[in-house]
Structure formats: structure tokens, C-alpha cells
């Protein structure tokens, strides 16, 4: 199907029944949907169609979801990626986030919730801002208007989720944000995965920002952006 008004979502899922249910809910939301069932076909569709978001099953024949996401990120493509996994364990969850995924959901899941998460990720990625807003803490700058970030003179590539998490911290420098608060304000929902999702994204931000990172851990509470 060609892209509808909200753009095309690439659904990569080898279980046809699950893929069709996901597609049904996305189409109801005004998205166009392309379904692929294996990794090679998914990469070909991604290169040809340039979707607005990709829903990736971890376990696929041929190239798995992790390899697809790694290929996209290595090519400099930061299109929002949501992982779907049948294995309810921490390794899969962390693998998805560390590869640069924006979110994940575990089977069985509500297709309505998955569609809502796609909307949330795309809303964050759109970066609708009415006035210029540049935030800085130490040597790290965040241009909220253009959704770009720098550590010193070097620009840093961030996923939409990483960017919004960093901007949330930078808007109130020195303020300590609890993990639950960040999960709610950045991800837009309370997740059964818990606050470990926040911890993984913070670790990724620190790795990308390097020595310039101003993100401080407040043990037992949460995180703050400051130079103390």
C-alpha cells in the first residue's frame, strides 16, 4: 500500500497474522503500511521507500531485527525504530535500545498500544517548536528547533528519544528528575519494562557525549544535567 497522510510505516514481522493486525491499526491511524517478512526484503524496502518509522521484529529469517537496525544507524539513518520481541528478557530489551532503537514492546501486546507508541515517537521526532530554543550545559548544546546537539565543536547523532531525554534534562539544569518522571514525560507512558529503559538511554547519551557529558546520577533518585 502507498503511504497515507501520516507517511509510510515499514512493518517487518514474519508472523503474517501479527503483521496484518499491526497494519490494520496503523492504517486506521492514517498511516500507509508496507509489510516485509525477512531481513533482506526489509532492507531493500527501507532503502527504496524511506519510511517515517520502522517496526522491527527481533527474530527474523535471514538478517534479524538487530542487524537491520545496525545497518540503518551505520548509514546515518535515524528514522524511528520500534522493536518487537517474543523473548521477555532483559538482553533483548537492552540490545534494542543500545542499537539505537527508540522503543520496544514485548509479545503479546496490544496493537492499539503499539500504534500509540508509533504516534508518540513520530511526534517527538517531528520537533514542532514555534520559537528558537537553544539549551546549553557546559560544553554541550542542544538546538531544540533544529533537533541537533553538539558536544564541544562536534555534532552528535541522537535518536529522537535520546534527543528528547537530553532536552528534558537541559530545560531544567540542576533539577533532579526521578526515573519515573522521565519515563512519563519523555516516553509518554508508564512501561512494564520499568525505569531500566531510562537508565539504558542515559548510558547511551553519556557514551555519545563523551567527556563533555554533564549528566549526573543521583543515586536512588534519578538524573540531573549540571556541572557539579
Which residue in 93, 101, 86, 98 sits closest to 192, CA to CA? 93
State the pLDDT confidence band at 176, using cuts at 50, 70 and 90.
Answer: very high
Q: Compute and round to an integer the Cα radius of gyration of the chain.
A: 17
Does the pLDDT value for residue 208 go beyond 80?
A: yes
Model pLDDT, residue 129:
46
pLDDT above 70 for 105: yes
Q: How far apart are CA 46 and CA 38, in angstroms?
A: 12
CATH 1.10.10.10 positions along the chain are: 134-225
User: Mean pLDDT, the chain, as a whole number?
Assistant: 85
Comma-separated ranges of CATH 3.40.50.2300 domains in the chain: 8-126
Residues 174 and 224: beta-carbon distance below 8 Å? yes
Residue 103's nearest CA partner among 119, 47, 150, 112 is 119
Q: Confirm if 180 and 194 have CB atoms less than 8 A apart.
A: no
Burial of 112 (0-12, 13-18, 19+ CB in 10 A): exposed
pTM (2 decimals)? Answer: 0.69
CATH number of 8-126: 3.40.50.2300
pLDDT in tens, 21-66: 999 999 999 999 999 999 999 999 999 999 999 999 988 888 888 8
pLDDT band at 200 (very low <50, low <70, confident <90, very high): confident
Q: Report the DSSP pairing between strands 103-106 and 81-85.
A: parallel
d(C-alpha 226, C-alpha 169), whole Å: 9
| 140-158 mean pLDDT | 91
Distance CA 18, CA 22 (A): 6
Q: Is the pLDDT of residue 118 over 60?
A: yes
CB 135 within 8 A of CB 142: yes
Residue 156 is predicted with a pLDDT of: 94
CA distances 104 to 61, 63, 68, 93, Å, are 19, 18, 15, 7
CATH number of 134-225: 1.10.10.10
Residue scoring higher pLDDT (185 or 50):
50
Amino acid at each position: 500500500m502507498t503511504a497515507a497522510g501520516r507517511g509510510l510505516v515499514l512493518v517487518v514481522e514474519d508472523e503474517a497474522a501479527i503483521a496484518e493486525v499491526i497494519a490494520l491499526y496503523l492504517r486506521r491511524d492514517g498511516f500507509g503500511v508496507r509489510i516485509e517478512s525477512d531481513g533482506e526484503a526489509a532492507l531493500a524496502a527501507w532503502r527504496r521507500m524511506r519510511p517515517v518509522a520502522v517496526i522491527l521484529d527481533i527474530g527474523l529469517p535471514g538478517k534479524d531485527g538487530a542487524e537491520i537496525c545496525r545497518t540503518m544507524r551505520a548509514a546515518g539513518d535515524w528514522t524511528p525504530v520500534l522493536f518487537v520481541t517474543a523473548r521477555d528478557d532483559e538482553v533483548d530489551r537492552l540490545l534494542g535500545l543500545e542499537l539505537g532503537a527508540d522503543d520496544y514492546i514485548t509479545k503479546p501486546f496490544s496493537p492499539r498500544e503499539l500504534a500509540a507508541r508509533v504516534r508518540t515517537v513520530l511526534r517527538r521526532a517531528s520537533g514542532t517548536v514555534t520559537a528558537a530554543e537553544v539549551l546549553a550545559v557546559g560544553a554541550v548544546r542542544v538546538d531544540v528547533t533544529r533537533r541537533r546537539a553538539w558536544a564541544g565543536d562536534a555534532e552528535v547523532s541522537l535518536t529522537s528519544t535520546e534527543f528528547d531525554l537530553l532536552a528534558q534534562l537541559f530545560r531544567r539544569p540542576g533539577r533532579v528528575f526521578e526515573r519515573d518522571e522521565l519515563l512519563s514525560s519523555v516516553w509518554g507512558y508508564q512501561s512494564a519494562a520499568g525505569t531500566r529503559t531510562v537508565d539504558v538511554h542515559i548510558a547511551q547519551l553519556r557514551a555519545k557525549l563523551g567527556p563533555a557529558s554533564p549528566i549526573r546520577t543521583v543515586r536512588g533518585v534519578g538524573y540531573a544535567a549540571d556541572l557539579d
